[in-house]
Structure 1
């Protein structure tokens, strides 16, 4: 969703695996009293889930109030304009949960600098880790916020937004299950009770690159980790691109009044490859742009102990759904290779390894053994996110 609301007409044209546009789904159809409307939505979601891996979602104000979005959006430039000293007080290195502030250019993807500044955020959570527990129990924990005195009201605006987007995510999971030929509760075993779950995200600023810069990488090609991502494209800048099965990059240009939803590697593995995790990247704003690009993704996680290869997590799908997967085919080559560990490791361990690779300074302070494993030559100049 962008900060301006808009009513959209859903494009009913089905996209194939070599899509050249991203479908727009009308969320209000999914909660309509008309069963034909609901069936239409599930059919469109099934296509997006299997063939595209991305969609725009419109008309979500029954769950996420426009005033909540607008209030958060009003704070975002102020957040990044805080004095550097205030932002550094909540640096990620202070947090064993990998939450907090990262300076511009603090990460690399595949050896190249990501030209972005960001705050890693999360829903409220108390870490369940105790001495003797697996390290990955500590990957979830309380977020860091700037002092209330320097940006009054921001924390409340952020927490309200996170709560409503999390609700949308939970409702959307039941729709995904139905699109896969399962009952609405068909994916519930991948979640713990709400008090033991945490969903995480970012507030990201992609500044206009310097005229002398030879790179336009906002963030390099990658997959997302969990079941789904719900993205608020705050500004009208282009930049987000997704990769079809032919390897072509397709623009996901912001559409007013929508969120962008994409599916992650955990869902892909849990559904035996039926759901498509799609490679994507972000390009920096054009050099002639006068303003930065802002976005707010929320990553809807599965429970920390989920190991999708275990028998208790195996799902049975109708033959017609498996046939759609097989007819789709797979991407021949992609630069996105991350989160392949979901097939063998607990979800929390996969998340922890990803965070360690992205933020070695945090790992060095809070997870020294993992740091030595991934960085035997010591702390690199910048983090490496795959």
Structure 2
């Protein structure tokens, strides 16, 4: 299956998910477009999915969009009832500027939510086994129906994510289930963030314009719902240029995580990206990234067997070029859970210091930095 070469890319491709269930020729066209996005870009717009089209759980998306400003408008004391500092699972609320990327403060306020999960960690277990656990929410009476909306949305996007992984296996011409080996046999915890990027009117000059700094996502796939019309998301091509990825109604922005890149022997490419704070007077930008889970115990460094004709596609792409993000290099030797835990502690050093003091001291032998350091 030939793949068009477009390097360095200048446009984020748009894929029509409805072609998956179309004629054989339409499905073939979708797979060719998907393979191009996987190999040469690492990002894509995905339209006409069961989640975003006018059927399925479309109404749940509309409901979520209605809740987002309301949850951020709750009184600070209400939001702090589910502060992330209360969670060894790095779930809950984080105030504006409490997360860091590449040693700089991210100008965003956020909630980290997840599907319900009973933590099985006990004293003596590996610390990373503690990463999954019960989510924290604002009191139900403060925002009735909000928790159910989040859980329903999580479950809806999870179904889409698993289907896209199956399509990736088809594109790579590997046996069905090759990537599913990185799933848990039992139910995995699915996660998302609700993000509010304040505009420059609410920032000090020293805060800069970093909504979130240059980074890769760690896992398999990310499905981003851009909830407002604000620009800000940018994707870095191999020439080091930042390409805008503006909101497109009715789509997800889907990108490849580092674990998927490594598991596919670097055929699929994870791409550096960032968010710039909205300009003065534009108001707050909201977005909802969903991060596809796989087993905390999974080790992806061996990679899955891939046919030579697919491996050869890397040659046409060439070297990955200029990148401003820090790689998740620990995937070369460590399991997913440990890699995630390192990243969470670096992103949220206050939470890490409270719940994981031993690993925190290894990462920050001179104590918690005032500026942080994250991927």
TM range (shorter): over 0.9
Does the CA contact (< 8 Å) of 1:175 and 1:184 recur in 2? no
Q: Aligned to 1:165, what secondary structure does the other structure show?
A: helix
Deviation at 1:200, TM superposition (A): 1.5
Hey, what's the Cα distance between the residues in 2 that align with 1:55 and 1:366? Answer: 37
Q: 1:19 maps to which residue?
A: 9
Q: Deviations over 1:79-99 (max 9, x none)?
A: 000000011111111000000
Alignment equivalent of 1:236, drawn from 205, 225, 229? 229
* Equivalent residue runs for 1:164-243 within 5 Å: 164-195=156-187, 197-210=188-201, 213=205, 215-243=208-236
User: Are 2:141 and 1:152 equivalent residues in the alignment?
Assistant: no
Does the CA contact (< 8 Å) of 1:219 and 1:282 recur in 2? yes
Runs of 4+ aligned structure 1 residues displaced above 4 Å come to none
Q: 1:6 maps to which residue?
A: none
Pick which of 263-272 and 186-195 moved more. Answer: 186-195
Deviation at 1:17, TM superposition (A): 3.0
Q: Aligned to 1:266, what secondary structure does the other structure show?
A: helix
Distance change >3 Å, CA 240–CA 194, structure 1 → 2: farther
Hey, what's the Cα distance between the residues in 2 that align with 1:90 and 1:383? Answer: 22
Hey, what's the Cα distance between the residues in 1 that align with 2:104 and 2:352? Answer: 20
Gaps of 5+ in 1: 1-12
Hey, what's the Cα distance between the residues in 1 that align with 2:256 and 2:190? Answer: 15
Q: Deviations over 1:171-192 (max 9, x none)?
A: 1110111111113322111111
Hey, what's the Cα distance between the residues in 2 that align with 1:105 and 1:37? Answer: 45
Distance change >3 Å, CA 302–CA 117, structure 1 → 2: same
Q: Aligned to 1:198, what secondary structure does the other structure show?
A: coil
* Equivalent residue runs for 1:55-134 within 5 Å: 55-61=44-50, 65-134=57-126
Hey, what's the Cα distance between the residues in 2 that align with 1:246 and 1:128? Answer: 45
Q: 1:362 maps to which residue?
A: 351
Q: Aligned to 2:200, what secondary structure does the other structure show?
A: coil
Q: 2:370 maps to which residue?
A: 381
Deviation at 1:212, TM superposition (A): 5.1
Deviation at 1:15, TM superposition (A): 5.8
Does the CA contact (< 8 Å) of 1:26 and 1:41 recur in 2? yes
User: Are 2:265 and 1:266 equivalent residues in the alignment?
Assistant: no
User: Are 2:324 and 1:335 equivalent residues in the alignment?
Assistant: yes
Q: Aligned to 2:205, what secondary structure does the other structure show?
A: coil
Q: Deviations over 1:307-329 (max 9, x none)?
A: 1235xxx4221221111112101
Q: Deviations over 1:142-198 (max 9, x none)?
A: 110000011111001111001100111111110111111113322111111242x11
Does the CA contact (< 8 Å) of 1:15 and 1:48 recur in 2? no
Hey, what's the Cα distance between the residues in 2 that align with 1:139 and 1:187? Answer: 22
Does the CA contact (< 8 Å) of 2:102 and 2:213 recur in 1? yes
Q: 1:275 maps to which residue?
A: 268
Does the CA contact (< 8 Å) of 1:15 and 1:52 recur in 2? no
TM-score, normalised relative to structure 1: 0.92
* Equivalent residue runs for 1:1-12 within 5 Å: none
Deviation at 1:361, TM superposition (A): 1.2
Paired residues, number: 368
Q: 2:292 maps to which residue?
A: 300
Alignment equivalent of 1:256, drawn from 249, 263, 271? 249
User: Are 2:339 and 1:353 equivalent residues in the alignment?
Assistant: no
Distance change >3 Å, CA 15–CA 286, structure 1 → 2: farther
Hey, what's the Cα distance between the residues in 2 that align with 1:160 and 1:53? Answer: 27
Hey, what's the Cα distance between the residues in 2 that align with 1:206 and 1:218? Answer: 6
* Equivalent residue runs for 1:36-55 within 5 Å: 36-55=25-44
Distance change >3 Å, CA 62–CA 256, structure 1 → 2: closer
Q: Aligned to 2:223, what secondary structure does the other structure show?
A: strand
Does the CA contact (< 8 Å) of 1:107 and 1:384 recur in 2? no
Hey, what's the Cα distance between the residues in 1 that align with 2:371 and 2:152? Answer: 33
